[in-house]
Amino acid sequence: MKVISNALQAHLEQDVTTLATCWRVTRRDGTVMGFTDHDSDLVVESVTYEAATGFTPTAISSSAALNVDNLDIEGLLDAGAITTEDLLAGLYDYAEITVFQVNHAFVGDGVLLLRQGWLGEVTCEDGQFIAEVRGLTQPLSQRVGEVYSPSCRAVFGDARCGINVALLTQSGTITAVTSRTVLLDTARTEDAGTFSSGVLTFTSGANAGLSVEVKEYTPGTITLVLPTSYAVEVGDAYTITEGCDKRFSTCANRFANAVNFRGEPHVPGFDRLLETAATRSEW
């Protein structure tokens, strides 16, 4: 049951209403942005909701069942609001979103909450973006628990892993740029593969604060999994952390951390389970 003010209830009961839909997006870095489908900006609870943003939601439906409610929001990419670079940089990943309606003639009447949740998958195409809104029941549809796997399920450096990644982190400066995925630092002389599967974090430049996974490392050359959101310039500073390929041999031999390995490397795989007398090999 939705709870609204008496003033807004009285307005909804009229034959003609003056309702506007608003979207409030709260990013994980604390930035709050407001958008509305009204023809002029609205100020609701000290937040300004911009009108010239081209937001369009799909139909909103709710049910008494615990199935996940679907809602997509489309919007135009705007240099002054939401940009492609910010979306690709992950600034809106898991941002909290609230969708509500308000009487734009008397915003003090209160709000009618339509949906609250988090942004999920975001795609960009032809100058616009489409964002999936995941409702409060979304976590109920996710699988809880773990399955057997030959590789480690811990995140490198987390509490279950136990490795102190601060001791495996180096700093450097970009000396040349081949592309947004291939960066050069001629001062790097570590062995090939040292930083493969690791994480590079920019500490200066346009990408400052952004982290990207390292695909491959050879002395002096860092290849990233995904291109950086913004152009990288010579002189940009960064930190880079050694990576782990999740194999038991790597955990035991390279990091001496076999006691914390979170996998089952000796459990027989599907090839062993499906073998027959004709295909069986010697142990």
CA atoms within 13 A on the CB side of 36: 22
Min mean pLDDT across 25-34, 61-70, 153-162 is at: 61-70
Computed on alpha carbons and rounded to an integer, the radius of gyration of the chain in Å comes to 25
Tell me which amino acid residue 144 is. Answer: V
The residue among 206 and 279 whose pLDDT is bigger is: 206
The residue among 50 and 67 whose pLDDT is bigger is: 50
Question: What is the SS3 assignment for 262?
Answer: coil
Under CATH, to which class is 6-141 assigned? mainly beta
Contact 137, 66 (CB under 8 A): yes
Contact 163, 110 (CB under 8 A): no
pLDDT value at position 173?
Answer: 96
Query: What is d(CA 58, CA 252) in angstroms, rounded to the nearest whole number?
Result: 51
Q: Over range 12-34, report the average pLDDT.
A: 88
Where does CATH 2.40.30 sit in the chain? Answer: 165-243
Query: What is d(CA 215, CA 222) in angstroms, rounded to the nearest whole number?
Result: 8
The CATH number of the domain covering residues in 165-243: 2.40.30
* Model pLDDT for residues 227-262, shown as the tens digit of each residue: 988 899 999 999 999 999 999 999 999 999 999 999
pLDDT value at position 68?
Answer: 47
DSSP assignment string, 126-181: TTEEEEEEEETTGGGGS--S----SS--SPTTSTTT---GGGGEEEEE--EESSSS
* Model pLDDT for residues 100-126, shown as the tens digit of each residue: 899 999 988 889 988 888 877 777 766
* Model pLDDT for residues 164-206, shown as the tens digit of each residue: 999 999 999 999 999 999 999 999 999 999 999 999 999 999 9
Query: What is d(CA 282, CA 267) in angstroms, rounded to the nearest whole number?
Result: 16
Contact 38, 99 (CB under 8 A): no
Query: What is d(CA 76, CA 130) in angstroms, rounded to the nearest whole number?
Result: 9
Structure tokens, 267: 């459990």
Query: What is d(CA 220, CA 49) in angstroms, rounded to the nearest whole number?
Result: 48
Where does CATH 2.30.110 sit in the chain? Answer: 6-141
Query: What is d(CA 236, CA 105) in angstroms, rounded to the nearest whole number?
Result: 50
Counting residues of the chain whose pLDDT is more than 70, the rounded percentage is 81
